[in-house]
Structure 1
């Protein structure tokens, strides 16, 4: 999931609260992710732990300076994020 951090239509904090309601374990707390050496946003990794076995994980990422349609505001950063997702490469 991703949200622009300047989205006033559906603020990222609402998405964050919904994810928190899933009661997943936080694997990595907010960490910056980069494009061309610049902070492109922040990401938080959640995992579902069943007896120390991860059945799935979920990454929530913000796009720095992104509005409601983040790719319109920050196309390079959004492309890099999706490219990494398709390549199974972490942010």
Structure 2
């Protein structure tokens, strides 16, 4: 893991929002693209599986799917 996932997760946890939906996978074309966790402030923490430091470079299809869903307000 290139991006400090654990530090980011610790920072999000420090905001003290309740977890509405715990870790679950999200999919692109029937394959697991990453995992999400949703909080009470209507924010979702999402990962891109195998995305590395520059996820759009390594996983462009998954990132486009994630971004398109965010723009159209569809859940991951």
Give the TM-score range, shorter chain: over 0.9
Normalized against structure 1, the TM-score is what? 0.80
SS in 2 for 1:79: helix
Normalized against structure 2, the TM-score is what? 0.95
RMSD: 0.8
Instruction: State the partner residue of 1:81.
Output: 66
Distance 1:13 1:83 in 2: 26
The higher relative CO (CA closer than 8 Å, separation ≥ 6) is in 1
More strand by share: 1
Structure 1 residue runs without a partner (length 5+):
1-5, 49-56
Instruction: State the partner residue of 2:39.
Output: 46
Select the structure of larger CA radius of gyration. 1
Structure 2 residue runs without a partner (length 5+):
none
How many residues matched? 76
Instruction: State the partner residue of 1:29.
Output: 22
